[in-house]
Homo-oligomer: A and B are copies of this chain.
């Protein structure tokens, strides 16, 4: 995603929340490297596929945490400020998550 396509809005997560997400993403990065190693040494496909499924579960957890943080902060705040457009935005995101 190009920098310029990004929303001008900002999120305001606590440092603890950001730290938790970063730790999870570091672990996922390590898992991806692990899968590359498995492929390099011709590991059996079933084992590789099992590892990829584990990465997908870990990514699902990250996206659910982010959605939860988003809905409990930005979405609530913007609705309370009378800006209901945020609902359309988050629905687009949720539908994308449901389709993936």
The reply to whether A49 and B32 form a contact with Cβ atoms under 8 Å apart is no
User: Using Cβ atoms and an 8 Å threshold, which residues of chain B touch A90?
Assistant: 46, 71
Give the distance in Å from the alpha carbon of A1 to the alpha carbon of B29 in the complex: 15
Q: Mark A42-55, 1 if CB is under 8 A from B, else 0.
A: 11111111111111
Give the distance in Å from the alpha carbon of A69 to the alpha carbon of B56 in the complex: 20
Q: Mark A71-97, 1 if CB is under 8 A from B, else 0.
A: 110111001100010010111111111
Contact of A43 among B6, B32, B54, B60 (CB under 8 A): B6
Closest residue of chain B to A63 (Cβ to Cβ) is B52
Contact of A60 among B80, B92, B98 (CB under 8 A): B98
Which residues in chain A, 1-49, are within 8 Å of chain B measured between CB atoms?
1, 6-13, 18, 21-22, 25-26, 28-29, 32-36, 38-40, 42-49
Are A6 and B47 also in contact (CB < 8 A) when A25-B32, A91-B68 are?
Answer: yes
Give the distance in Å from the alpha carbon of A53 to the alpha carbon of B13 in the complex: 20
